[in-house]
Amino acid sequence: MRIDTTIRSTGIPGRAAAGKAGSAPAFVPAGMGGAARASAATPAMPMAGLDAILALQTVGDFRESRRRSVKRGASMLDALESIKADLLVGNVSADRLDALVGQLASMRERGEPDLDAVIDDIELRVRVELAKFGRFPPL
């Protein structure tokens, strides 16, 4: 593959432009021995800070945390519906009750106050139903 042209970024002149004839100042004060040296070039726009990147990552975590909380609440409600159906048949599965105890024992994330209040209500209802069957999960 052949490259015919190169594209150079413009903005900061290279060393060749700084040392050309006629680029020195026309007037130098008496106290200064020569031209003042130019400071190092700084980028025009600073790179995105680490704080901004971390803030963007927490937004993703917040959405993911909300999704997991909603999924946890929905699965507990589904389990309560299954227990209700089992009660109508007359046989409540011990495995289903153990699964509910396991869900309550697992740690859950807290983030959004309104969603946490709904999940707390669902967990309370699950605890009441488990207490009816003599199962008392730890608080």
pLDDT in tens, 37-92: 666 666 555 556 777 777 767 666 677 888 888 999 999 999 999 999 999 998 98
User: Could you tell me the residue ranges of all domains in the chain?
Assistant: 50-132
Q: How many residues does the chain have?
A: 139
- Cα 7–Cα 10–Cα 11 angle in degrees, nearest 5: 160
pTM recorded for the entire structure: 0.54
Please state, in angstroms and rounded to a whole number, the distance separating the CA atoms of residues 114 and 108.
15
